[in-house]
Amino acid sequence: MTPETVIELAQQTLMIGIMLVAPLLLSALVIGVLIGMFQAATQINEQTLSFVPKIAAMAAALFIAAPWMLSVIIDFTRELISNIPNVIG
């Protein structure tokens, strides 16, 4: 296994990880900004106010994106397993 192969594999792994986490993080970011604007406008400084909507939005994003996320990780795993002889040999 050459250093270039290891770097390429690490790069692919990081990109897949970023792709899988992006829908959840983006939904939490959007809801957090909206709740923050609401709190600033109404001067409600309750820390737990943003927790429940963020969890609900992340659950909805996970429910919507789960089939895509599963197919991405399965395809990546299949590619890794099928390339084992090429990488080792």
pTM of the predicted structure, to 2 decimals: 0.79
The count of residues in the chain is: 89
What is d(CA 61, CA 81) in angstroms, rounded to the nearest whole number? 29
Please list the helix, strand and coil fractions of the chain in percent, rounded to the nearest 5, in that order.
90, 0, 10
pLDDT one-digit tens code per residue, 26-70: 999 999 999 989 988 988 888 788 889 999 999 999 999 999 999
Q: Give the Cα separation of 69 and 62 in Å (integer).
A: 9
Residue 13 has pLDDT above 80, yes or no: yes
57 DSSP 8-state letter = H
